[in-house]
Amino acid sequence: MKLAPIDAGGEPLDARAMRSAAQEVAYARPVGRSLLGHGEDTIHLIVSAEVHADRLRPFRHALAQAARRRGWTLHGTGTGGAASSLDELRRSGMQSGYAATVAHARNIEQLNWNELGADLVFYGLPWTMETLEILFPGASRLFDADNTLIRESLDAYFDCGGDTRRAAAQLAVHRTTLYYRLDRAQQLLGEDWAQGARRAGLQLALRLAMLIRNI
């Protein structure tokens, strides 16, 4: 469970404050054996693999309240895979941290590592404009202020599986307008932007850009 400061007058997000917050919410842990710890901006709760995600909600609620009292906010909750060794536990911790970040970016309460779907592709990558350029050379042009409508139209086009009728309806524009914007995308990105590997790379770049905007 990742935390972030939201109030300049709140407590600093340091080791002492994190330890205090962890101690404050220890009572809300699910019944049974568990371990509670913290990192620089993360509260770690280790429970049995048999504990269903629904049983973590009281703990998450208690932590959200403790965070608000300190001028912080809860930036997503994630769960990692089951672990039976220290190496697996370390990996599970990294997975849960990433799942928490994606949950926050998607604006949902909680995500399991196994629920990330295509967003697993970005695990371990820096969420930067440079990564967007690696995924699709030229993608950064879509983030110029003058090209916002083109980027939004591409997002809708991909979200609708390339169905221009549905994409135009989603954007609340005439299909002629959408075709014009897709033509402009071709001028910006090259004639082959909608073909094969280039198309897949552009979809990934736009997906990562959406996640970056929302964190």
Percentage of the chain lying above the pLDDT 90 cut: 63
- Predicted confidence at residue 7, as pLDDT, reads 64
- Predicted confidence at residue 12, as pLDDT, reads 87
Q: Which tens digits make up the pLDDT trace of 50-90?
A: 888 788 888 989 998 999 988 988 888 899 988 889 999 99
Q: Which tens digits make up the pLDDT trace of 139-184?
A: 999 999 899 999 999 999 999 999 999 999 999 999 999 999 999 9
Host H or E run for residue 16 = helix 15-24
What are the φ and ψ backbone dihedral angles of 181, each rounded to 5 degrees?
-70, -35
Q: What is the mean pLDDT of the chain?
A: 91
Mean pLDDT of all residues in 37-56: 86
> 116: Cβ–Cβ under 8 A, 6 or more apart, which residues?
98, 99, 102, 123
Q: What is the DSSP string of 98-139?
A: HHHHHHHHHT-SEEEGGG-GGGGGGTTS--SHHHHHHHSTTG
**What gap in Å lies between CA 10 and CA 24, rounded to an integer?**
17
Q: Which tens digits make up the pLDDT trace of 88-101?
A: 999 999 999 999 99
- Predicted confidence at residue 76, as pLDDT, reads 87
Residue type, 84: S
